[in-house]
Amino acid sequence: MGMKASLAMVMLAALATLGCPYSDQITTNGGLAIAGGGGGGTGPDALRFTVQPSGATAGNIITPAIQVTVFDSLGVPDSAFTNPITIAIGVNPVGGNLSGTLSVTPVNAIASFGDLVISSSGAGYTLVASTSGATSASSASFTITAP
């Protein structure tokens, strides 16, 4: 019985090695040590708003800080990604202007935009995050109220 279990583990490890994009992370101690964050997968990376913009008052900083995360094609945060992420108004219902730091280099896959301000009140704003090397993302809609 012990021999069959050992053979089954060897076969399982061999299959995991063949099909696993993290095969360099498989250990020889009988366990799997899959660690993401290196840009695994074969498809393009994708941006995702992980902290959505919330309502704010026109002319004031949007809080909490908006966060955009870079994910590899396996859905794992890509901590090796270092291209700057740019944020802009996507849907602009009343012609407001976006100011603050509009381009941020991600740290451990996360770009944090902590000083964004929209100048005009209106409902239905969205933001768009983009960068080279990853697909862009649109935020949920939000409202900027009058001061």
Instruction: Tell whether 89 and 137 lie within a shared domain.
Output: yes
Which residue, 23, 22, 19, is CA-closest to 38?
22
Task: Determine, yes or no, domain membership for 99.
Answer: yes
- The total number of residues shown for the chain amounts to 147
What tens digit of pLDDT does each residue of 86-105 get?
A: 999 999 999 999 999 999 99
Instruction: Tell whether 75 and 141 lie within a shared domain.
Output: yes
Residue 75, classified by CB atoms within 10 Å of its CB into exposed (0-12), middle (13-18) or buried (19+), is exposed
Task: Determine, yes or no, domain membership for 40.
Answer: no
Instruction: Tell whether 17 and 82 lie within a shared domain.
Output: no
Rounded Cα–Cα distance for residues 116 and 56 (Å) = 10
Q: Which is more confident, 11 or 64?
A: 64
CATH of the domain at 76: 2.60.40.10
Residue 2 pLDDT > 70: no
What tens digit of pLDDT does each residue of 107-146 get?
A: 999 999 999 999 999 999 999 999 999 999 999 999 999 9
Task: Determine, yes or no, domain membership for 105.
Answer: yes
Domain with 8, as residue range(s), is: 1-35
Instruction: Tell whether 7 and 52 lie within a shared domain.
Output: no
Instruction: Tell whether 70 and 20 lie within a shared domain.
Output: no
What tens digit of pLDDT does each residue of 17-29 get?
A: 445 444 444 333 3
What's the total number of domains in the chain? 2
